[in-house]
Structure 1
Amino acid sequence: MRRIVNYHPSTTARIALGALPIAIAIAAYLIASDARLAANPGDKIMPAISSFYAAMARLIGRVDPTAGQPLFWYDTWLSLARLGAGLGISAAIGLVLGVLIGFIPYLRATFDPIVAALSLIPPLAVLPILFIAFGLGEASKIILIIFGVAPVMVRDMVLSVSAIPREQIIKAQTLGASTWQMILDVVLPQVLPRLIDTVRLSLGAAWLFVIAAEAITAEGGLGYRIFLVRRYLAMDVILPYVVWITLLAFLLDYGLRKLSAYAFPWNGLKEA
């Protein structure tokens, strides 16, 4: 007897099933919006879809007076630049420190406790400290992402290195490999795919820190724009920006997944 766990959807069915919850959510919003607007045509909480188009058309065509750039795309560029810098530096820190701490026992005994402690500190709690220490410019925003993401990446890399079968290390030593040769030829090929997965899983947290930093002090960015218009209850701007951020995150996740499959085809990447 075949069980449901043994049935796998086709590519078409998987696309359709993935789109189904989104379609249901859109339909539920349209129904609720129509009901609210019927009771109050001036309702701002759940505006009609046409209001989204009108608001975004204004923003996309509007030029930022300070930067002289299209407002919507300028906000997108600023947020993506901050996100990319923070995640890139965090990934480098996670790889270097994670491999060294995970592979060398003395380094693990020394630094594992402090890394664990740092990973448990709520990053938003130290946001005022970062602004005081590094000012209100770009540095504090990027450091917030690094502080929130890098310790978790380091811990994940340490666990990945620790999960490498000890027999591989012993065989490498038997063949005369030095510590650095074992790191380069045995450890790195096995943890690099995991690093990409860790970056993918950190995208949500990184976006949270970008939006939080931009909301408090910034002169542009997607988070800055959302919190700027919230005082006017401008849901026709806020909701499209939230959807746009979600789409950007999805595209970044998709790109990283394809990068992992292309660079490490032997890793047997599964859809996730």
Structure 2
Amino acid sequence: MRRLINRHPSRRMKILLGALPFILAVAIYAIAADARGADGPDKLMPGLNAITSAMSRLMFDIDRATGARLFWADTWASLARLGVGLGISAVIGLGLGVPVGFIPCLRALFEPFFAALSLIPPLAVLPILFILFGLGELSKTVLIVFGIAPFILRDVMLRVAEIPREQIVKAQTLGASSWQMILGLVLPQVFARLISSVRLSLGAAWLFVIAAEAITAEAGLGYRIFLVRRYLAMDVILPYVLWITLLAFAMDYALRQAHDAIPWTRFKEGG
């Protein structure tokens, strides 16, 4: 007897089924916007034509004040902040998480501190960061790092603790020093977990970028959203939110592909 649980869609069918909810959402929005705009333009739910016109202007027209195409300038500004923050956080997570998680004395010394640090709400210290580092790019980068580096750090430490003790004993039997074990035994097994930790931090990183840009910035996706909200410009806000979602999805997909490209992750899943 064929049961529903045993029916698996083909690759083409997966793509179609995955796209169907988005198509339905756009169709429902278009119908609702046309209904609301029957008596005139509706600022809260603009039609697809209004959204297309607004985005065409931002994407292709050069702004007189800045001399740039605002949509692409905002995208680059936000991605640059996000990339720098994620990169620094990954380096901190790997550079501190591996030795602290591997060496018992370091773990006893720093683990409680890192645990407490990860529990501090990053947005609560945002005013402090602006006071200490000013209103420029440095404070935005520090906010991202402060928000996600402790999570990545603790996740890497946990992965180091999961390494079987037998492997460590065998490495010591073969004469490996602590740093040789870190480089040859721990790092290869932790790198895939680092990529997964960065993936899980993407949502929080975008939140901190947008929060920082909403308070002080001259360009950025979050800056533009909060700039035009005073005019109820939903024809700009909605596409920007969708664009942020698309960028986050693309970054998540790229990180997932990088994770799956590591040979020993496939071996572990298959074996």
**Does the alignment reach a TM-score above 0.5?**
yes
TM-score, normalised to structure 1, is 0.94
Tell me the amino acid that sits aligned with residue 76 of structure 1.
T
* Deviation for aligned residue 1:260: 2.2
Match of 1:168 in 2: 167
Q: Distance in 2 between matches of 1:66 and 1:50?
A: 26
Aligned position for 1:36: 36
The residue type paired with residue 214 of structure 1 is E
Q: Cα–Cα, structure 1 residues 8 and 178, in superposed 2: closer, same or farther, change >3 Å?
A: farther
* Residue of structure 2 equivalent to 1:62: 61
For the residues of structure 2 that align with 1:234 and 1:81, how far apart are their CA atoms? 25
Q: Percent identity?
A: 68
TM-superposed CA distance for 1:158, in Å, is: 0.6
Write the distance in 2 (CA, Å) between the matches of 1:121 and 1:5.
44
Task: Assess, with a 3 A threshold, how the Cα gap between structure 1 residues 66 and 180 changes in structure 2: closer, same or farther.
Answer: farther
Question: How many aligned positions are there?
Answer: 268
Q: Distance in 2 between matches of 1:3 and 1:116?
A: 47
Paired residue for 2:12?
12
Q: Distance in 2 between matches of 1:4 and 1:114?
A: 50
Letter in 2 for 1:8: H
Question: Do the aligned partners of residues 26 and 267 (structure 1) sit closer, same or farther apart at CA in structure 2, a change above 3 Å counting?
Answer: same
Distance in 1, Cα, partners of 2:2 & 2:118: 45
CA deviations on 1:207-231 (whole Å, 9 max, x unpaired) are 1100000000001111100000000
Deviates most, 218-227 or 20-29: 20-29
| CA shift for structure 1 position 19 | 1.1
**1:73–1:108: structure 2 CA closer, same or farther, 3 Å change rule?**
same
Which among 255, 263, 266 is matched to residue 265 of structure 1? 263
Question: Residue 229 of structure 1 corresponds to which residue in structure 2?
Answer: 228
Report whether the alignment pairs 1:82 with 2:81.
yes
Q: In the TM superposition, what is the alpha-carbon distance from 1:2 to its structure 2 partner?
A: 6.7
Q: How does 1:67-216 map to 2 (within 5 A)?
A: 67-216=66-215
Amino acid at match of 1:134: F
Instruction: Give the gaps of 5 or more residues in structure 1.
Output: none
Q: Which moved more, 1:156-165 or 1:54-63?
A: 54-63
Deviation at 1:31, TM superposition (A): 2.4
**How far is 1:58 from its partner?**
1.1
Q: What's the TM-score, normalizing by structure 2?
A: 0.94
Runs of 4+ in structure 1 over 3 Å off: 1-8, 64-67
Higher mean Cα deviation, 156-165 or 248-257?
248-257
Q: Take 1:161 and 1:26, find their aligned partners in 2: how far apart are those partners?
A: 45
Over residues 66-86 of structure 1, what are the superposed CA-to-partner deviations in whole Å (9 max), with x where a residue is unaligned? 543221111111101000000
